[in-house]
Homo-oligomer: A and B are copies of this chain.
Amino acid sequence: KHGVSDEDAQVGAVTGLAWTEVGGELLTIESVTTPGKGEIRSTGKLGDVMSESIAAAFSFVKARAPAYGIKPSIFQRKNIHIHLPEGAVPKDGPSAGVGMVTSIVSTLTGIAVRPDVAMTGEVTLRGRVLPIGGLKEKLLAALRGGIKTVLIPEDNVKDLAEIPGNVTDGLEIIPVSHVDQVLETALTSMPAAIEWTEADDLASQPGAAGAKDGSAPTAH
């Protein structure tokens, strides 16, 4: 059953695409919140490049939190743990970046991820999606795994010419250049942005007098 995507929409669970010497394969990404102070923990025998891509994904989400309906005050009482199962298998590379962002946003908003969507793409601190390698192998793995929709970087569209027709025919392939396009397709609904001013930020600091939604719940 592994190598096949989950059937139900789940919060925090994303299907990435990995590329190894022996071909492509589905890469499950899972995250949960735990009590903490806005830190991230990642496990699953991850290499340095993947660990850094998770750190960048997390900072991207923190910096844009209000745009995704996430109150920044949550980072004063929650950590995120990202785990990639099959814990004995080494994993590395930056191309799971869009999956990391999607998993974190899903977990923090409580909005589920569509289970028939897979995705690949490096992501920058401004949310741009950068091209990846191994497109053919990744698409084949998606097809084999029952995926219906694959999000790929716009800069990889030029590589689609070399992909066999039966692969591209069996998948809806959506090119994206910004992670917001990823979220629009992969989440079952789009979170509504909230306002968060510098005053909200100051008020939510630990020890501040009146917090909108900080650690000291006050009627107002």
Contacts and interface: CB of A to CB of B under 8 A. Distances in A.
Interface stretch (A25-33, A140-148, A187-195): A25-33
Interface stretch (A47-55, A166-174, A178-186): A47-55
Interface string A46-68: 00110011011001101100000
A12 to B, nearest CB: 7
A203 interface: yes
A38 interface: yes
A217 interface: yes
Given A34-B62, A45-B49, A81 B55 contact: yes
Q: Chain A contact residues: over half helix, strand or loop, or mixed?
A: mixed
A216 to B, nearest CB: 6
A6 to B, nearest CB: 9
Contacts of A63: 32-34, 81
Contact of A52 (B32, B43, B76): B43
Number of this chain's copies in the assembly equals 6
Contact of A202 (B38, B128, B130, B217): B217
A49 B87 CA distance: 6
Interface string A96-125: 010000000000000000000000001011
B32 A83 contact: no
A208 to B, nearest CB: 6
A206 interface: yes
Contact of A35 (B32, B62, B86, B88): B62
Interface string A193-220: 0000001011101111100011111000
A87 B12 contact: no
Contact of A32 (B13, B59, B205, B217): B59
23 contacts: A2-B155, A13-B126, A30-B125, A33-B63, A35-B76, A43-B53, A45-B49, A52-B87, A55-B81, A59-B81, A59-B83, A83-B124, A85-B122, A199-B217, A202-B213, A202-B214, A202-B215, A202-B217, A205-B215, A205-B216, A207-B215, A207-B216, A209-B216
